[in-house]
Structures are given as structure tokens and as C-alpha cells.
């Protein structure tokens, strides 16, 4: 059994906003680009389904794969990933004998590995955080990480196309820091993190979240599009989308994003791209929360993909000639890997 990720047995997790935790007033690498772009015209969001299963009280991470969604809760005493259909009904649950501390976000690798960022730390007390992996062969792994400058609260994981994980901090004042490992991850070992950039968020006036206007500044989730052309970060109220070149996540975040106002939600934390990379899928904590599809801004959607009448994507940033071969191969590999994962040998708990 892997070493537990370190969840407090008392059950007291300090879930919400310890005062004075991790206020990033300056960034060591110089000023970041403010994520202040005004929203552009976009089609209206559409509610896909509602989370009503009592096993899903705190959905914090989400990845869409085909006609399924993978979600996880913010909490629990085992590592559980729920597979949902398009009505938000639980199809099955994949579990691993890992005791998480505070898992906050989820990402999917090309080989079908599901990664969870066990990085929540509202009280700023964790000496290390962890990335937890559920592999397609049914095994699980714990990879520990240590910040160079003390504890940080992180709810957003961006898994670059080359497999490098990036962590983006959640800051009350909106100055988020971006970290990545300094070397390859080591199973059951600890690898250092290096600060590689930052993003500054400003007040937008978009309603939502549990903490008033501060929720407009606090990063609660991240995602990379299936075609590897976009990355997104969300706050409690808004999503920000940047174009991605190669695997340069830090460089992308230094650019100008497009802001998408999200539907008002009590505690929105989860974000994913749809399979055609043309829209975002968002969800949040609390039973009765909606899973909502939010189209990307028109400029981004048009440059990202043109959807044929049969629903297939073509012309990803390349006119009408279809997606570049590498992007198409990666997308196909992701879907294939997840299908293997869904039918793998992980411990399952069914309805």
C-alpha cells in the first residue's frame, strides 16, 4: 500500500480561507501579466446535468472524456475517481488505497494515467504536497513535492503536453505563482518545485463564490485542451484562456488571456475542456450543483476548431485541412488510454 498522502485524521482540514495564508504580494521573477482582459461576446452557457448523487458533495476536479466525465471530491479517506455519464449519474468508481490530504484538481495523461493534485493547504502548514496517480494498469503512485519558499495553497493543476505538471497558487489578493518540478518525479520520494512565473488576477465584478469579491481573484482549477492548443484557469467566478505553444505553460501564462464570465455558482472549482476543445465544462461543490458547458469566446473557438455537421472537429488553427497530425494523434491516444483505464483493474465500487 502506498504511503498515505497525509490527510489529518481529526477531520479538521481548515477548508476555507485561513486569514493571512499565502498572500503573494510580490513575485520573485518580476511582474506578471494581469489577467484583466475584458470578456468578449460568447454564446450562452448550457446546463448539462446536475450533481445530486450523495457521494459527490464536494466535486473539485473534472475531466471530460468522450461521453463520460471523471470527477473527484475535495476530501475523503481514499483516492476515488467517479465516472459519470451525460446525466451526471455515477457509472462506476475507481479507488486506490491512498489516503489523500486535500485533493483539489485533476488532469489526464496521454497514457491514461489520471493525476490528482493533492495540494490544498488553506492553513499553510504542509511541508510537502503530492501528486497522486491512478495508472491504467490498476496501480497507484504517490509523488511528493516541496516548495522552495514555504507552504502554498494550490487548487489548479496544468499538465503540459510533454507531461510536466504545473501548479498555480490560490491567492486572496490575486497574485498567483506558477511552479513546476525541478526534476523528474520520484515515486514515494520528494522532488523540489521551482517558481517559473505568475499571473495577476483583478476584480471583474462577476458574481459567485463563497467569499464575496475575493472569489474573483482566487484560482480554483485548471485545464489543458485535448488538442494541446489552449490552457485555462478558473476562479470562483471567471475562466481565463491562453493559447499554448508546445509545452511552454509558463510562457503561455505570461501572455494576454481571454476572460470568460462563468455562471454564478456557490463554490465553482472544477474546469475541463470539451473533447473538441471548443468549450469549457465547469462544476462546483455542493449537492445540486450544475455541470455547465461554457462556449469559448468566438475568436478562440473559431481559431481552435471548426466543427463539421457530423460533430467532428477540423481545422485546428490550420484552416480547413483538419487537425495537425501530432495533435490528432495525441487526442486519439488520450481517449484510447482512458478507455483502457475505464476497463482496467482498479478496485471498483458500483451502485
Phi, psi of 325 (to 5 degrees): -55, -40
What is the per-residue pLDDT for 140? 95
| pLDDT reported for residue 219 | 98
The pLDDT of residue 3 is: 39
What cell does 204 get?
471583474
CA angle 321, 323, 329 (to 5 degrees): 140
| Closest to 271 (Cα-Cα) out of 255, 263, 283 | 283
How far, in Å, CA of 239 to CA of 252, rounded?
A: 15
- Please, what is the end-to-end C-alpha distance for the chain in angstroms? 25
Q: Is 341 in a helix, a strand, or coil?
A: helix
CA distance 199 to 169: 9
pLDDT, residue 75, reads 85
| 5-13, Cβ contacts within 8 angstroms, sequence gap of 24 or more | 5/98, 5/99, 5/100, 5/101, 5/118, 5/130, 5/132, 5/142, 6/99, 6/101, 6/126, 6/128, 6/130, 7/77, 7/99, 7/100, 7/101, 7/102, 8/101, 13/75, 13/101, 13/102, 13/120, 13/122
As averages over each run of 10 residues, the pLDDT of the chain (351 residues) reads 38 29 25 52 88 97 96 92 97 94 96 96 96 92 97 98 98 97 97 98 97 97 97 98 97 96 97 96 96 83 36 26 36 45 40 36
Check residue 59 and give its pLDDT: 97
Give residue 257's pLDDT.
95
Query: d(Cα 291, Cα 280) in Å, to the nearest integer?
Result: 10
Q: What's the pLDDT at 316?
A: 17
CA distance 218 to 117: 17
β-strands 33-35, 190-201 pairing: parallel
pTM of the model: 0.79
**Cα–Cα distance measured from residue 138 to residue 324, given in angstroms and rounded to the nearest whole number:** 32
pLDDT on residue 333: 44
Task: Return the DSSP state at 318.
Answer: B
Alpha-carbon distance of 216 to 209, in angstroms, equals 8
Q: Do 144 and 165 meet the contact criterion of CB atoms below 8 Å apart?
A: no
Grid cell 485524521 in the structure block, residue: 9
Q: Are strands 289-295 and 279-284 parallel, antiparallel or unpaired?
A: antiparallel
Nearest to 196 by CA among 17, 29, 16: 29
Question: CB count, 10 Å around CB of 114?
Answer: 27
Q: Which residues of 174-199 are buried (b: 16+ CB within 10 A; e: fewer)?
A: bbbbbbbbeeebeeeeebebebbbbb
Paired with 280 in beta bridges are 273, 294
For residues 88 and 287, is the Cβ–Cβ distance under 8 A? no
- Which DSSP helix (H) or strand (E) runs through 337? helix 325-342
Amino acid at each position: 500500500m502506498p504511503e498515505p498522502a497525509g490527510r489529518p485524521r481529526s477531520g479538521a482540514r481548515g477548508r476555507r480561507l485561513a486569514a493571512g495564508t499565502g498572500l503573494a504580494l510580490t513575485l520573485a521573477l518580476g511582474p506578471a501579466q494581469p489577467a484583466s482582459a475584458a470578456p468578449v461576446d460568447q454564446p450562452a452557457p448550457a446546463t448539462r446535468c446536475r450533481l445530486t448523487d450523495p457521494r459527490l458533495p464536494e466535486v473539485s476536479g473534472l475531466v471530460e472524456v468522450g461521453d463520460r466525465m471523471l470527477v473527484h471530491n475535495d476530501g475523503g479517506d481514499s483516492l476515488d475517481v467517479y465516472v459519470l455519464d451525460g446525466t451526471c449519474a455515477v457509472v462506476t468508481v475507481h479507488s486506490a488505497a491512498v489516503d489523500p490530504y486535500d485533493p483539489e484538481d485533476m488532469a489526464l495523461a496521454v497514457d491514461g494515467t489520471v493525476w490528482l493534485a493533492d495540494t490544498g493547504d488553506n492553513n499553510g502548514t504542509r511541508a510537502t504536497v503530492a501528486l497522486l496517480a491512478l495508472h491504467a494498469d490498476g496501480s497507484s503512485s504517490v509523488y511528493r513535492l516541496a516548495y522552495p519558499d514555504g507552504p502554498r495553497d494550490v487548487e489548479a493543476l496544468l499538465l503540459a503536453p510533454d507531461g510536466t505538471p504545473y501548479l498555480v497558487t490560490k491567492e486572496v489578493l490575486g497574485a498567483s505563482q506558477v511552479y513546476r518540478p525541478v526534476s523528474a518525479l520520484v515515486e514515494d520520494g520528494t522532488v523540489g518545485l521551482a517558481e517559473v512565473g505568475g499571473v495577476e488576477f483583478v476584480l471583474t465584478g462577476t458574481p459567485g463564490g463563497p467569499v464575496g469579491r475575493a472569489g474573483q481573484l482566487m484560482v480554483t482549477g485548471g485545464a489543458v485542451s485535448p488538442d494541446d492548443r489552449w490552457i485555462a484557469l478558473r476562479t470562483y467566478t471567471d475562466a481565463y484562456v491562453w493559447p499554448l505553444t508546445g509545452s511552454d505553460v509558463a510562457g503561455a501564462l505570461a501572455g494576454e488571456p481571454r476572460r470568460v464570465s462563468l455562471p454564478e455558482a456557490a463554490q465553482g472549482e472544477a474546469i475541463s475542456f470539451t473533447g473538441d476543445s471548443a468549450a469549457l465544462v465547469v462544476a462546483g461543490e455542493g449537492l445540486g450543483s450544475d455541470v455547465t458547458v461554457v462556449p469559448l469566446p468566438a475568436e478562440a473557438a473559431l481559431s481552435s476548431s471548426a466543427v463539421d455537421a457530423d460533430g467532428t472537429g477540423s481545422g485546428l488553427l490550420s484552416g480547413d485541412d483538419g487537425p495537425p497530425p501530432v495533435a490528432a494523434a495525441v487526442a486519439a491516444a488520450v481517449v484510447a488510454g482512458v478507455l483502457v483505464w475505464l476497463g482496467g483493474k482498479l478496485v471498483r465500487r458500483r451502485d
